[in-house]
Amino acid sequence: MSRRRIVLIGLTLALGLALGGCETFDGLLDSKKPLPGERKSVFPDGVPGVAQGVPPELVKGYQPPAEPEPPPPVVAERPKPKPKPRPRPKQIAAPTQQPVTTMTVQPAAQPAPAASPFPSPAPTPPPSGSPFPDPPRPPGAR
């Protein structure tokens, strides 16, 4: 195995030295012909929208032009949301033996939930008596 490597390295070096002594490789490597036709520059006056030469920011001693002071930001007040109308009291129909009673349901005042960038977690099911799901039902049973 080591003889093969030595011979391979020797042949590679000999081939490299032999090719290094050649003056030109034009006949060996250059087989392409140029395309026929006249050559024209695409943008003879330069690329539109691009300044020629060195940008003024890179010139030594450059002083940026004074910028006017921006106006103070205007803070717009948010309109207050309209209060929701209260639900009407519901009348529950009762059998004729009992008197009709009126029940009013007032929603509890809850603060508006703050907007969160994260989704709320999925509700967890209430724990059941068994840690395992119901066993499979036999075929034909409902």
- Per-residue pLDDT of the chain in tens (142 residues, 90 and over written 9): 688 999 999 999 998 888 777 766 666 666 678 889 999 999 888 888 888 888 888 888 888 888 877 777 777 777 777 888 888 877 776 555 656 666 676 666 666 666 666 666 666 666 656 667 777 788 876 6
Asked whether 106 and 87 are in contact (CB, 8 A), the reply is no
Tokens read off for 141: 């049973």
Residue 11: the pLDDT is 94
What is the rounded distance in angstroms from the CA atom of residue 8 to the CA atom of residue 14? 10
pLDDT at 7: 94
Beta carbons of 92 and 105 less than 8 angstroms apart: no
